[in-house]
Structure 1
Amino acid sequence: MNAEMLLPEPRDNLVYIVDDDVDVRVALEALLQSVGFQVMTFPSSEEFLARVPISARACLVLDVRLTGQSGIALQNHLMRLDAKLPIIFISGHGDIPMAVRAIKAGATEFLTKPLRPQELIDAIHVAFEKYDERSLVDRALASAKTRFDGLTAREKDVMALVTAGYGNKETANILGISEPTVKAHRGQVMKKMDAESLPDLVRLAQELELPIKDR
């Protein structure tokens, strides 16, 4: 594995390798450390689960066929735990149906052995990019949820109706309040939700999965 390789950015790039072949673990550890990744290796899914905090910012390079719990079983287990860890599957068997299932279940890549060094490194870069993108989305959603929780009950009612397409007059009739009061609540909702426009507010309502009001 002596091909010219791109160096990762100097940040906390932690890669977990789970493979029951010691030669593969040693080779991949040497490869990834040589280009600046931090690496931890494990011979089994069970040892990985026993030793690793799955909430860490990291990438998992995972063999499909393992002694004990398989790589696919580990992926399913991590999904049940709602782990955000991006997974790159590696396999010496080229099992296409298995690869399709793994990708559909959320794996970022499925590579076949013998691995090409740059292909693996590129896949890990992509995995970290996807992890960071998802983290940004999760933080934005959490922030929106906090802002929504800060609305009064009446403001939540107004938000649900106006984002469902009801006008101020219709909203006032449904809630049994005056139209100026609806406008005042609507203004407070826009301010508290940090929405610059109605489309912004609609997008936030969709992200928060607010109940859809029947017209």
Structure 2
Amino acid sequence: MRDISTQTFYVFIVDDDDAVRDGLGEVMEVAGFNYQTFESAEHFLQDYCPGKRGCLVLDLNMPDMTGDELQTELFRRDIHLPIIFLTGYGDIPTTVRVIKAGAVDFLTKPVSSKLLIERIRGVLEQEARRYEDSLLAEQALCRRLNGLTTRESEVMSLVVAGHANKEIARQLGISHRTVEVHRARVMEKTGATSLLELARLCETCRLPPEASSSESE
């Protein structure tokens, strides 16, 4: 595993206490983590860029939107940041509730810098491994597309774009039967079992839903 401090992972700190945010920021700097601080859950939601990787160190009791309410909102938005709750008012029912909802840890203030760094580092290393695994899986999927011929790729792109076989045949200047053959080969080579799965595969590999008709069969 490469040094996690060199990766583009962030620790997002959300706490309404200025002193706590400043103190946690100093701890992050000493540990070598990239970090951002937010004074409220609302500010975090406004500024966070979906897809930015890392973990969330989250206070529980905050005005307007509480930490567990933010947890619920992130789930609703399909944002899957691992959450470490850090609060001065922890109790067993609350701990159980947020852990069941997906939080990876629940720490009570004051917490030692050493323990906090250990927990954050463990979460980020897990996220780094998960990210690398997802890249490998994506590369394996895209290799399936690399095995298609030029004509098969053209047919696939038009199919994913929603064109019927008859329209694809007209655009490419080939017979309806030839389109069916190419379409079957595309499904076989990619391993897709449905048009929706094929579309997701193209999206994963960032292929545009269109094709040129300039190539020959």
Give me the TM-score of the superposition, normalised by structure 1: 0.61
- What per-residue deviation string (whole Å, max 9, x for no partner) do you get for residues 166-193 of structure 1? xxxxxxxxxxxxxxxxxxx9xx96x755
Change (3 A) 1:144 1:96: farther
Change (3 A) 1:69 1:146: farther
Report the counterpart of residue 65 of structure 1 in structure 2: 61
Deviation at 1:145, TM superposition (A): 9.2
Report the counterpart of residue 128 of structure 1 in structure 2: 124
Corresponding residue to 1:32 among 20, 28, 32 = 28
Local SS of the residue matching 1:9: helix
Is the Cα contact below 8 Å between 1:31 and 1:117 reproduced in 2? Answer: yes
Q: 1: distance between equivalents of 2:48 and 2:76?
A: 16
Q: 1: distance between equivalents of 2:79 and 2:118?
A: 22
Change (3 A) 1:24 1:100: same
Local SS of the residue matching 2:95: helix
Report the counterpart of residue 18 of structure 1 in structure 2: 14
Deviation at 1:51, TM superposition (A): 1.1
Gap regions ≥5 residues in structure 1: 1-6, 153-184, 194-215
Report the counterpart of residue 172 of structure 1 in structure 2: none
Deviation at 1:28, TM superposition (A): 0.4
Is the Cα contact below 8 Å between 2:4 and 2:128 reproduced in 1? Answer: no
Q: 1: distance between equivalents of 2:53 and 2:47?
A: 15
| Aligned residues: CA RMSD | 3.2
**For residue 59 of structure 1, what is the amino acid of its counterpart?**
C
Deviation at 1:98, TM superposition (A): 1.1
Between the aligned residues of both structures, percent identity stands at 40
The ranges of structure 1 where at least 4 consecutive aligned residues each deviate by more than 3 angstroms after the TM superposition are: 136-139, 141-148
Q: 1: distance between equivalents of 2:33 and 2:42?
A: 23
Report the counterpart of residue 156 of structure 1 in structure 2: none
Is the Cα contact below 8 Å between 2:5 and 2:33 reproduced in 1? Answer: no
